[in-house]
């Protein structure tokens, strides 16, 4: 499996503000790669550099083996993208905008194209005859999505592609990305702060914070960072033995249920005890990236880059490196 | 009431520089006019001569106004008032649309309407804002005339006449905003109505009744259908009557009343005329950046060409009228000569050259706008969509500049066509008829500089593109076209591209200025395209 995107020690500064601070990102061929991070972490800046819209201050980036800044035109024939903040021409209809973008990419706007376009419009429940200014945020997003999906590409760079879409449309999107990945073998880099969508789609994830990758790997390999939530009916069960286990955290009793978190990679060590206690109404909730996120960023909410601190100086943020345990 | 006050202050804060520059420019222009007329037509005899020429030449009356005698103050009002009123109209229609339809279109109005401000406070605040702005404008124009040394009472009347027209068009702008779903359409239709008002009074003046001595006149009925016509009917400096301004106030009040009736019934964000829906598929020619540039600007280009054509028609009819009615007048020829910086050419040729400079300015403005569209695309984020496709930045910028060049040529071609048609229709067979094409050609180099100059700014200092683009054009126009009249230093006047536009005089035309400017424009364009590869795409 080759590497499709590789950045090494990528830096990007806007004046005093460091948007990217030594970013090392690797996306392999054929995978759906989740690019996770809070607002202002540098996701869009990274994608803009990968598209050759912005130039790295230092460090290297290669996309499909090319330099995204120097070989932008050549690369864009093979790359489809959805920008983070979609705006379209107010006086062009959605259909016109989609056609224009497809033609710019060199796609043949023939019968097969028309069919695909119509099919996607129906899938996304999108009316292409309205003028750009009349679309809601979600519909503008659909223009960019349909334009990106209608012409096949080797690599898809999607910057928070489902923002503004309703859950139904999110499901359509998830299905389409899965199809691209399975049937066409396309590579997808998907930035998001919507964790459930990455969880559903991504083979591997990279977590970005303050302009650098703080963690990454397959979802499974990240499980060590999360806790699985286990709960069961109180039913006069004696929980003292359970509470004594060091895999068990934050044991509470609420509304007649006993609830605790267990280290996700050690859940199996807790199960025998639960069996011997004969618990009823057992619920085991799988770890979510939500929780993973909380543990990365839960202690503080970082300001967006460029946002000055109270003393007016640009805030130089430090992230807490999560100690890796196990796996 | 407090919400109205808060919103009023927000409007004031938002418009402070913009309105200040509008009001100051209009007032300074009034003062400018007094100065220029004092310099060029200092004595009553020369003014009388010009008036006789004017009243005998309908085309001049269209551009000027209602002759009310050769006294200095009345003559100044005749020369400049219609133009001041036109500018006041633009200031107000833009202001009205900016705070109503544009706010609704952007969605900001929802934010405000959802607060305790409700639906009516924003409108009230806009009306209040307009009232205050036009009172200030009236005072500023009055001070401008007084500063030039004109009669104070007449200056106040002239100032009020300007402000009242402004108020009337505030109403028109508000009403247009009710009808159209986009600020572009609302601005377009109210600007068109303003031009209709200007032309209606022009038509009324041109067909008015002239006194036997050719010094005073009364307007024909069409003037009475135009707010600018009502302003002229104040007879500032000669009659000083204020009652015609009641008509302008009445129009403003009527517009606001209709606006209230409509707003009481419509949803926030809706409009009387619903936005049209578009095509599901793009036309087959919409491929590539040049086609996109054309698709985005086709309306604007048609507008500029229509403006050029009208300018050409007026130029042609003026030129031929002058040839038939007017024999050598030293002071008028001298004034025109200062305007076009040339010696030894015939009156008609000079006049065509002078008026074609207006066409040249239109073409230059069209060029500026074509380049500014690049910046608008970038700031709106649509540039990013296009540049994420296999399309180099050089080709993108080059295409928009290329379309700009094409539209500059088109505007001048339509100007020449208009002039040629009206000259031919008038039966003029002089060499001036053939000269119109060469004269139009001569305007191109200066206009092309105004295509290349903002492009350089766009590449090296993106944020300044729009204000600097228009400012550079404004400075060029003032220096190049009015600099000579104002007696500015030659070195300063020479900074303007318009100064170097070749004056076509049959065989002996000196084209060197044009070639120099073409070279400069080409160098600037090359510099732009050479700098592009280093430039990022963003909205910073």
Domains and CATH numbers, chain A: 3-221 (3.40.50.300), 227-286 (3.30.70.120)
Tell me which residue in B184, B279, B382 faces A89 most closely, judged by beta carbons: B382
**What gap in Å lies between CA B291 and CA A153, rounded to an integer?**
24
CB contact under 8 A, B182 and A73: no
Task: Output the pLDDT for position A318.
Answer: 37
CB B312 within 8 A of CB B280: no
Number of A/B CB contacts below 8 angstroms equals 114
- Percent over 90 (pLDDT), chain A: 40
Contact residues, chain B, for A155 at CB < 8 Å: none
Bigger pLDDT: A43 or A253?
Answer: A43
Q: Averaging pLDDT over each range in A195-199, A250-254, A265-269, B220-224, which range is the top one?
A: B220-224
pLDDT at A314 exceeding the cut of 50:
no
**What gap in Å lies between CA B169 and CA B90, rounded to an integer?**
8
β-partners of residue A156 are A80, A188
**What gap in Å lies between CA B352 and CA B432, rounded to an integer?**
8
Q: Give the mutation candidate from B278, B301, B380 for the A interface (greatest A CB count, under 10 A).
A: B278
Task: Output the pLDDT for position B342.
Answer: 52
Confidence of residue A317 (pLDDT cuts 50, 70, 90): very low
Residue of B nearest to A50 (CA): B388
Which two three-digit tokens encode residue A135? Answer: 């679309």
Buried b vs exposed e over A63-96: b needs ≥16 C-beta within 10 Å? Answer: bbebebbeebbebbeebbbbbbebbbbbbbbbbb
CB contact under 8 A, A91 and B296: yes
Contact residues, chain B, for A76 at CB < 8 Å: 388-391
Tell me which residue in A54, A73, A85 faces B390 most closely, judged by beta carbons: A73
Does A110 reach chain B within 8 Å, measured CB to CB?
Answer: no
Does A128 reach chain B within 8 Å, measured CB to CB?
Answer: yes
Contact residues, chain B, for A87 at CB < 8 Å: 380-382, 385
Confidence of residue A186 (pLDDT cuts 50, 70, 90): very high
**What gap in Å lies between CA B519 and CA B95, rounded to an integer?**
40
Residue of A nearest to B533 (CA): A70
Does A74 reach chain B within 8 Å, measured CB to CB?
Answer: yes
Residue B451 burial by CB count (10 A; 0-12/13-18/19+): exposed, middle or buried?
buried
Residue of B nearest to A68 (CA): B388
B388 C-beta neighbours (distance < 10 Å), count: 29
Task: Output the pLDDT for position A31.
Answer: 94
Q: What's the pTM value of the predicted model, to 2 decimals?
A: 0.76
CB contact under 8 A, A88 and B538: no
pLDDT at A93 exceeding the cut of 50:
yes
B92 C-beta neighbours (distance < 10 Å), count: 29
Contact residues, chain B, for A134 at CB < 8 Å: 181, 275, 277
What value of ipTM does the predicted structure carry?
A: 0.70
Q: Distance between alpha carbon A310 and the CA centroid of its chain, in Å?
A: 31
A206 CA: distance to closest CA in chain B (Å) = 23
Q: What does the pLDDT look like over A108-126, one tens digit per residue?
A: 678 889 999 999 999 999 9
Q: What is the mean pLDDT of each run of 10 residues along chain B (540 residues)?
A: 88 92 92 85 85 78 86 92 93 96 88 86 96 97 94 96 97 95 87 88 86 87 93 94 96 97 88 81 87 90 89 77 56 58 59 79 90 90 89 91 95 92 77 80 92 93 88 86 70 86 75 91 93 78
- Percent over 70 (pLDDT), chain A: 86
Task: Output the pLDDT for position B1.
Answer: 66
CB contact under 8 A, A100 and B287: yes
Residue B237 burial by CB count (10 A; 0-12/13-18/19+): exposed, middle or buried?
buried
CB B182 within 8 A of CB A133: yes
**How would DSSP label each residue in A211-278?**
TEEEEEEEHHHHGGG-EEEEEEE-TT---HHHHHSTTEEEEEEETTEEEEEEEGGGHHHHHHHHHHHT
Tell me which residue in B287, B388, B536 faces A103 most closely, judged by beta carbons: B287
A203 CA: distance to closest CA in chain B (Å) = 25
Mean pLDDT of A22-46: 92
Does A69 reach chain B within 8 Å, measured CB to CB?
Answer: no
CB contact under 8 A, B277 and A93: yes
């Amino acid at each position: 499996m080759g590497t499709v995107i590789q950045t090494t020690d990528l830096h990007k500064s806007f004046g005093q503000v460091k948007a990217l601070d030594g970013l090392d990102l690797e996306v392999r061929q054929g995978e759906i790669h989740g690019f996770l991070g809070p607002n202002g972490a540098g996701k869009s800046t990274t994608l803009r550099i990968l598209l050759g819209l912005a130039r790295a201050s230092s460090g290297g980036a290669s996309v499909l083996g090319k330099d995204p800044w120097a070989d932008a035109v050549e690369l864009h024939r093979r790359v489809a993208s959805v920008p983070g903040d979609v705006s379209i021409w107010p006086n062009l209809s959605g259909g016109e905008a989609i056609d224009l973008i497809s033609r710019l990419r060199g796609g043949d706007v023939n019968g097969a194209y028309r069919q695909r376009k119509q099919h996607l419009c129906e899938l996304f429940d999108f009316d292409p005859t309205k003028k750009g200014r009349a679309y809601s945020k979600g519909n503008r997003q659909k223009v960019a999505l349909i334009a990106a999906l209608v012409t096949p590409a080797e690599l898809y760079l999607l910057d928070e592609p489902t923002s503004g879409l309703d859950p139904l449309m999110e499901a359509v999107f998830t299905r389409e990305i899965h199809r691209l990945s399975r049937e066409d073998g396309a590579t997808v880099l998907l930035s998001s702060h919507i964790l459930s969508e990455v969880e559903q789609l991504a083979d591997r994830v990279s977590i970005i914070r303050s302009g650098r990758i703080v963690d990454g790997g397959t979802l499974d390999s990240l499980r060590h960072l999360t806790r699985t939530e286990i709960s069961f009916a109180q039913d006069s069960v004696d929980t003292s033995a359970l509470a004594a286990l060091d895999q068990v955290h934050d044991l509470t009793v609420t509304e007649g249920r006993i609830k605790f978190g267990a280290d996700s990679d050690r859940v199996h060590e807790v199960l025998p005890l639960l069996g011997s206690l004969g618990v009823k109404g057992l619920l085991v909730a799988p770890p979510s990236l939500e929780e993973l996120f909380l543990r990365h960023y839960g202690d503080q909410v970082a300001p967006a880059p460029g946002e000055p601190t109270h003393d007016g100086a640009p805030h130089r943020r430090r992230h807490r490196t999560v100690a890796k345990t196990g796996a | 009431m407090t919400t109205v006050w808060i919103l009023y202050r927000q409007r004031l804060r938002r418009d402070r520089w913009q309105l200040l520059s509008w009001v100051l420019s209009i007032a300074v222009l009034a003062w400018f006019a007094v100065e220029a007329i004092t310099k060029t037509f200092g004595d009553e005899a020369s003014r009388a001569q010009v008036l006789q020429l004017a009243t005998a030449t309908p085309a001049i009356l269209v551009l000027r106004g209602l002759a009310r005698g050769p006294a200095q103050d009345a003559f100044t009002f005749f020369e400049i008032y219609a133009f001041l009123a036109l500018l006041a109209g633009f200031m107000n229609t833009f202001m009205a649309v900016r705070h109503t339809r544009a706010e609704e279109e952007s969605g900001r109005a929802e934010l405000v309407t959802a607060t305790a401000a409700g639906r009516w406070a924003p409108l009230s605040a806009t009306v209040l804002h307009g009232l205050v702005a036009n009172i200030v404008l009236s005072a500023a124009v009055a001070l401008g005339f007084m500063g030039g040394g004109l009669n104070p009472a007449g200056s106040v009347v002239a100032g009020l006449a300007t402000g009242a027209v402004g108020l009337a068009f505030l109403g028109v702008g508000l009403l247009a905003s009710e009808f159209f779903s986009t600020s572009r359409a609302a601005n377009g239709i109210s600007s068109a109505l303003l031009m209709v008002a200007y032309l209606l009074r022009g038509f009324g003046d041109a067909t008015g009744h002239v006194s036997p001595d050719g010094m005073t006149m009364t307007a024909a009925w069409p003037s009475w259908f135009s707010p600018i016509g009502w302003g002229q009917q104040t007879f500032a400096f000669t009659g000083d009557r204020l009652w015609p301004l009641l008509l302008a106030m009445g129009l403003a009040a009527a517009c606001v009343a209709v606006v209230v009736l409509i707003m009481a019934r419509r949803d926030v964000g809706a409009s009387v005329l619903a936005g049209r829906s578009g095509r599901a598929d793009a036309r087959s020619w919409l491929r590539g950046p040049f086609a996109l540039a054309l698709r985005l600007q086709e309306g604007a280009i048609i507008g500029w060409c229509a403006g050029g054509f009208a300018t050409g028609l007026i130029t042609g009819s003026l030129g031929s009228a002058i040839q038939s009615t007017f024999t050598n007048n030293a002071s008028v020829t001298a004034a025109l000569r200062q305007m076009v910086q040339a010696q030894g050419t015939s009156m008609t040729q000079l006049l065509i050259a002078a008026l074609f400079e207006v066409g040249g300015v239109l073409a230059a403005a069209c060029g500026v706008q074509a380049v500014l569209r690049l910046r608008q695309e970038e700031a709106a984020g649509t540039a990013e969509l296009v540049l994420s496709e296999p399309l180099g930045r050089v080709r993108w910028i080059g295409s928009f500049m290329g379309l700009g060049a094409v539209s500059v040529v088109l505007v001048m071609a339509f100007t020449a066509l208009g002039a040629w048609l009206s000259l031919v229709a008038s039966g003029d067979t002089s060499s001036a008829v053939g000269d119109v094409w060469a004269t139009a050609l001569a305007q191109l180099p200066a206009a092309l500089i105004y295509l290349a100059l903002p492009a350089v700014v766009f590449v090296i200092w993106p944020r300044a593109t729009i204000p600097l683009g228009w400012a550079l054009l404004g400075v060029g126009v003032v220096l190049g076209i009015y600099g000579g009249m104002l007696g500015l230093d030659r070195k300063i006047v020479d900074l303007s591209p318009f100064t170097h536009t070749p004056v076509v005089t049959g065989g002996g035309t000196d084209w060197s200025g044009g070639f120099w400017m073409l070279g400069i424009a080409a160098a600037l364009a090359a510099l732009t395209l050479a700098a592009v590869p280093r430039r990022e795409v963003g909205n910073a």
